[in-house]
Structure 1
Amino acid sequence: MHSDVRPQRIAEESAPGDREIAQAFAALAAAAPLSPIEIERRSPRPNDVAIAIAYCGVCHSDLHAARGEWPGMMCPMVPGHEIVGRVTSVGSKVTAFQPGDLVGVGCMVDSCRKCSSCGEGAENYCESEQGYLQTYNGYVKGGDRNTYGGYSTAITVDERFVLAIRHPESQLAAVAPLLCAGVTTWSPLRYWNAGPGRRVGVVGIGGLGHMAVKLARALGAHVVGFTTSESKRDAILALGAHEVVLTSGERGLDGYEQSLDLILDTVGSPHDLDVYLSLLKRDGTLVLVGVPDAPHPSPSAVNLILGRRSIAGSLIGGLKETQEMLDFCAENGIVSEIEQIAIQDIDELFDRMIKGDVKYRFVIDLSTI
């Protein structure tokens, strides 16, 4: 329960300028429960878009960050990088958006815009010293303040980092996780050419994995889902998998050796990679998109050498491919499977996430703030 005491107010930037007040929930200290807070968001500069946030997805990284489980976390911290809402105003030089548009904001709100990665539309791999500017827990240019994310009623973002939403407004809540879970799986599927004639495995059918299954199927690949639980078989097939493999069974992987072109591993805990490397065809790739809290056991070089196989990683996606993913999902009726929640329940829901008690993504309704 939260008291009726007026919440603390914080500014996102130390530079002078007009401010607009947004209501938010923040971790005021590492591992502290999230509490109401007021944010002074900047009024739109010439290239800015001001957004009233309708929904924000809850990513597992929000939990790690808010509870101080990763290094470099800054408090007060307002998590949230799966943001959807409606434009309320735009700066004088904005041409791509106008008030009333449905838009999204993902994991980035800026980058150096000068390096080769930024120039090629891969801002997620920005080569500057600080990398891309995170939507939350990132240092604001020209100031000493933290950026604050989507667990709030409003945000102001440079138009270059705002995405157009073309889904029906009735699907807006279920679109929110596409801004992270969607593009995090879309990017490697596209880079490694998932499509007709390709066999794609998905390990870990959670927030990321369920989107990987949906997207790989829609791209035309033959999709194989891997799970430790027989009870999940029907649900995984319903997401679009052609086959489901029970990895905990005595002979679960028999017959799948050297059968897959690509495997997306979304698991966020250390596990044996050799099990999955052996399932790849010659020249196949195991792509890691889950971030474990400790290193995976070292895989055998033999599994890599004998099949010219690769282990790779992939980080979210650039702006161009994020918009491409959103448009593809709108055209094909793809959204995330969600449970809509009230912001006041966020700490309880963090605990549920730790237990794996979510199918498949929590999304905050910001009208509850």
Structure 2
Amino acid sequence: MTETTNQPTQAAGTTARAYGAPAADAPLHALEIPRRTIGAGDIRIDIRFCGICHSDIHFARGEWGDIPYPAVPGHEITGVVAEVGADVTGFAPGDRVGVGCMVNSCRECSSCQGGTEQYCLAGNTQTYGSVDRDGTVTYGGYSDHVVVDQDFVLRIPDGLELDVAAPLLCAGITTYSPLRHWGAGPGKQIAVVGLGGLGHMAVKLAKAMGAEVTVLSQSLRKQEDGLRLGADGYHATSDDATFEALAGRFDLIINTVSAPIDIGRFLNLVKTDGALVNVGAPPEPLPVPVFSLLMQRRTFAGSAIGSIAETQEMLDFCAEHGIAAEIELVGAEQINDAWERVLDSDVRYRFVIDTATL
């Protein structure tokens, strides 16, 4: 077991109760972490709930590169405003708010100026595992409170409960953004690969947008759930007949799986000028057969979360259409078991931590 000790210096502030990993091969346990002093434009949020994302596991176990330890993940955060800085406008103590996958960006590059700060050319500041502009390390939502710049705080609409809204801050926006960008709507055939945390949100959102939705899953084990969530069709990708029957069917395929798949087989299900978009993030490269792209002018693309404005749009859309995540609430002492169940695909469909248990 090894620990990283050369961490950036933390500025004076408060101490938060948290749950985190001291090293890549260590289980999570209770600890204390520093939070920065509230600046003029900052908001202190008392965290009520935090979703568990597969990305948390990849990060904390060092699968995406070297990171500072201890690692405190969590970027599906909902809570209540506890305190605001002197220059904060639009938020007040008691407001119901959320924080997603990023808490800052450079504000100056073409992406930030164009309203797509998730693609900040300098790299946006992630909610955990990044060094913020003031030199502090960012720690995530497996914690009792967090301090965030007002520009990266979302308002949770009254129509959404805080526990089921938490996964919308990652799983919701990660699927909403490509559905909007690639024009999901009436008359469009949309396929969703995988019915997990992201996949179940993609089904709900695409259906609410008016598209015809098909789930492509390894087996038919979750078929009843998929149809209940709004899917019009459900097919097993372990069956070769699926790829014959659905060839050239879809305008858009959203791949939510964070493991290798045969990209060529799935590209052949895409119509001429259609797109296969990856939102799952497997650590291994995915080979792409170029002729599957060339012959029908297909696109293979990726998409990562959404801007703050688009995330607020997504939250409002979900409140308007009665869309929320399907969750299983867990306490702090269950987090390690929940992680193992995520790896075993044994969750329907998102674990959410009740941070009162910290």
Name the % identity: 51
Match of 1:93 in 2: 87
One-letter amino acid matched to 1:344: E
One-letter amino acid matched to 1:158: D
Distance 1:286 1:304, change over 3 A: same
33-42 vs 113-122, which deviates more? Answer: 33-42
Question: Which of 170, 173, 189 pairs up with 1:199?
Answer: 189
The question of 1:112 aligning with 2:106 is answered yes
Output the TM-score relative to the length of structure 2: 0.95
Structure 2 unaligned regions, length at least 5: 1-6
Partners of 1:283 and 1:308 within 8 A in 2: yes
Match of 1:325 in 2: 314
Q: Distance in 2 between matches of 1:201 and 1:88?
A: 42
Aligned residues: 352
The question of 1:284 aligning with 2:268 is answered no
The question of 1:355 aligning with 2:329 is answered no
SS state of the match for residue 251, structure 1?
helix
Question: Which of 225, 247, 253 pairs up with 1:263?
Answer: 253
Q: Distance in 1 between matches of 2:341 and 2:280?
A: 19
Q: Distance in 1 between matches of 2:147 and 2:270?
A: 44
> Any idea what the Cα deviations from partners look like across 1:293-321, whole Å, max 9, x if unmatched?
2122x232222111110100001111111
Q: Distance in 2 between matches of 1:199 and 1:181?
A: 21
Question: Which of 125, 129, 134 pairs up with 2:126?
Answer: 134
> Any idea what the Cα deviations from partners look like across 1:313-364, whole Å, max 9, x if unmatched?
0011111111110110011111111100001111111111111111111000
SS state of the match for residue 339, structure 1?
strand
Give the C-alpha shift of residue 146 in structure 1: 2.0
Q: Distance in 2 between matches of 1:60 and 1:217?
A: 24
Match of 1:15 in 2: 11
Match of 2:202 in 1: 212
> Any idea what the Cα deviations from partners look like across 1:210-238, whole Å, max 9, x if unmatched?
11000000011111111121221111011
Q: Distance in 1 between matches of 2:113 and 2:240?
A: 50
Partners of 2:11 and 2:36 within 8 A in 1: no
Distance 1:41 1:261, change over 3 A: same
One-letter amino acid matched to 1:113: R
The question of 1:253 aligning with 2:243 is answered yes
Q: Distance in 1 between matches of 2:130 and 2:311?
A: 20
Match of 1:121 in 2: 115
The question of 1:336 aligning with 2:328 is answered no
The question of 1:55 aligning with 2:65 is answered no
Distance 1:167 1:335, change over 3 A: farther
Give the C-alpha shift of residue 187 in structure 1: 0.6
* CA RMSD across the alignment: 1.4
Match of 1:157 in 2: 148
Give the C-alpha shift of residue 253 in structure 1: 2.9
Match of 1:34 in 2: 28
SS state of the match for residue 147, structure 2?
strand
Q: Distance in 1 between matches of 2:219 and 2:301?
A: 26
Q: Distance in 2 between matches of 1:119 and 1:56?
A: 30
Give the C-alpha shift of residue 13 in structure 1: 5.7
Partners of 1:12 and 1:40 within 8 A in 2: no
Give the C-alpha shift of residue 117 in structure 1: 0.5
SS state of the match for residue 242, structure 2?
coil
Partners of 1:245 and 1:253 within 8 A in 2: no
One-letter amino acid matched to 1:105: V
Question: Which of 265, 274, 277 pairs up with 2:264?
Answer: 274
SS state of the match for residue 244, structure 2?
coil
Give the C-alpha shift of residue 12 in structure 1: 8.8
Match of 2:305 in 1: 316
Partners of 1:12 and 1:147 within 8 A in 2: no
One-letter amino acid matched to 2:98: G
One-letter amino acid matched to 1:197: G
One-letter amino acid matched to 1:248: S
> Any idea what the Cα deviations from partners look like across 1:38-97, whole Å, max 9, x if unmatched?
223223211111100000000001111112222121101111000000001101111110
SS state of the match for residue 234, structure 2?
strand
Match of 1:83 in 2: 77
Match of 2:292 in 1: 303
> Any idea what the Cα deviations from partners look like across 1:251-272, whole Å, max 9, x if unmatched?
1233311111000011111111
One-letter amino acid matched to 1:291: A
Q: Distance in 2 between matches of 1:83 and 1:34?
A: 18
Please identify runs of 4+ aligned residues in structure 1 that moved more than 3 A.
none
Partners of 2:10 and 2:34 within 8 A in 1: no
Give the C-alpha shift of residue 250 in structure 1: 3.9
Q: Distance in 2 between matches of 1:230 and 1:314?
A: 27
